[in-house]
Structure 1
Amino acid sequence: MLEYLEKGIKLGWLINRETRQVKIYRFNQPVEIFSYPNSLSGENILEDFVLEMKLIW
């Protein structure tokens, strides 16, 4: 994911199905870690996009 950040991505999700954790990467911001979230938002990058995590878990 760090390589993508270096290339300038604004939002990235790293989803771990085994631990049911999601790491959210944003440009020039610290990584946030969430355990078993219900959904992920595209925020202002992908407006109106919501990934329902029940499809993943």
Structure 2
Amino acid sequence: MVRCWYMDDVQDNPQDDHRLKDIDVPTLCDRTGVQVWHFEPEKTFANNECPSLTKLKQDRG
């Protein structure tokens, strides 16, 4: 998932994260309206019978 943040002004260690305020992924998804699904590749591509993918196709057309 692509993420962005405001950087802090601390210049102690350039290898630090320097995120001013971090937000967790579920909150980010709620605020932006992004929906995320996870499919197991071996189940999805091997025999095309991934239950979660089949349900998603039926629900969304």
Tell me the TM-score normalised to structure 2 length. Answer: 0.21
Structure 1 or 2, whichever has the larger Rg, is 2
Tell me the TM-score normalised to structure 1 length. Answer: 0.22
Higher relative contact order (CA 8 A, sep 6+): 1
Task: Please identify which structure carries the higher helix content.
Answer: 2
Task: Please identify which structure carries the higher strand content.
Answer: 1
